[in-house]
Amino acid sequence: MLKTSDFDFYLPPELIANQPFFPKEKTSMLTFRDGDILDLQLINLVDFLQEGDVIVLNDVRVIKAKLSAKILRNSAQLDFNLDQENQGFWNALCRGAKKVNAGDDLEIAADFFAQVIEKNDDGTIKIKFNCAEDELLQKLEKYGSVPLPPYIKRSSITQDLKSDAENYQTIYASKGMAVAAPTAGLHFNEKIFAALEAKKINKTFVTLNVGAGTFLPVRSEFLHDHKMHSESFYISEESAGIINLAKSRGKKIIAIGTTSLRVLESACDEKGIVKPQNTRTQIFIYPPYKFKIVDILLTNFHLPKSTLFMLICAFVGKEEAFGIYNHAISKKYRFYSYGDASLLFRNQ
């Protein structure tokens, strides 16, 4: 029976990247295939793919989900991060939850209000804004800030806000509302896409609205007791068709990031056919999960005991994953959202 502690390792804090690397095509990329580890750069991705292979990217956009409001009942300040939206209601993670009660009105700005619908024992609240979705996005853009992961340090509230708003967004972001970036996609620029296109490697998109739950640690002792956070996703008929056709022709499916992988594995039936759908997933992938559709994964380096590292262990093998990460640490690869990349071929 697998324990959370089985996925622990020592990560030197200085290896957690606080800024992205430029130029993106020269980002370090550890490559693992057939038991061999190579130290390469992201531009080498194209060397491992063939004409007709399909890369699958998560095109979700990150919203400015970090907000500060005044509680009108007592004039106290409440700082909170939006998490998941569901039928017009938002869950939020907040500091100082003791100050707020269900029914409280929150003033974010003179023209931007919300009401607390529920207060939960875990310090989260459910809120409803006083505006429709289109207007909400405009107000978040105006009054919110980028919800960086807690591991990325900023010396002040204003430091790098402008650059983070640009850097913590993929260049192809266009749909949905995420509160965390699909970080593997942050490595891509026009030069990378041009190299892929020149080799006739296809690309298609899925959408997973990444929630703040992606940052939450696994608190249970045993993996089977962990309740995975729920996230909404969408895969179109066109994208499903592109993926299924490529697979039927013996081509490789490359997931760009764990969010794309989780969509594909959630949307795939037992015969390996991807079905178009608009629904939610709580898929928790850990050994000995049997993958149905994804052949290759491009992803960042993840934190100890995280559900994402557990996914990596399922994809390449637990012993192999620890070997990869020991190598990455010894070579001082940069970890987490703004860190380096790893190109992983599935353990057959």
**Distance (Å, rounded) from C-alpha 94 to C-alpha 96?**
6
At 165 the pLDDT is 86
pLDDT for 213: 78
So what's the pLDDT on residue 160?
52
The CATH number covering residue 121 comes to 2.40.10.240
Number of domains in the chain: 2
Shared domain for 204 and 85, answered yes or no, is: no
- Measure the CA–CA gap between 197 and 208, rounded to whole angstroms: 24
Q: Is the domain of 204 the same as that of 334? A: yes
pLDDT for 225: 96
pLDDT at 162: 63
Burial class (CB in 10 A: 0-12, 13-18, 19+), 85: buried
- Asked if residue 216 and residue 265 are part of one domain, the reply reads yes
Q: What pLDDT sits at residue 316?
A: 99
Task: Calculate ∠ Cα 160-149-313, nearest 5°.
Answer: 135
338 and 189 in one domain? yes
Residues 106 and 71 in one domain: yes
Decide: 168 and 148 in contact? Cβ < 8 Å. Answer: yes
CA–centroid distance for 59 within its chain: 11
Q: Are 312 and 179 contained in the same domain?
A: yes
329 lies in the same domain as 243? yes
137 and 25 within one domain: no
89 part of a folded domain: yes
Question: Same domain for 107 and 58?
Answer: no
- pLDDT tens sequence for the chain (348 residues): 999 999 999 999 999 999 999 999 999 999 999 999 999 999 999 999 999 999 999 999 999 999 999 999 999 999 999 987 888 899 998 877 789 999 999 999 999 999 999 998 888 899 999 998 889 999 999 999 998 887 887 765 545 556 888 999 999 999 999 999 999 999 999 999 999 999 999 999 999 999 887 777 899 999 999 999 889 999 999 999 999 999 999 999 999 999 999 999 999 999 999 999 999 999 999 999 999 999 999 999 999 999 999 999 999 999 999 999 999 999 999 999 999 999 999 997
Contacts of 163 (CB under 8 A, 6+ apart): none
CA angle 249, 51, 252 (to 5 degrees): 50
Domain residue limits at 130: 66-144
pTM of the model: 0.94
CATH number at 177 reads 3.40.1780.10
Looking at residue 325, its pLDDT comes to 99
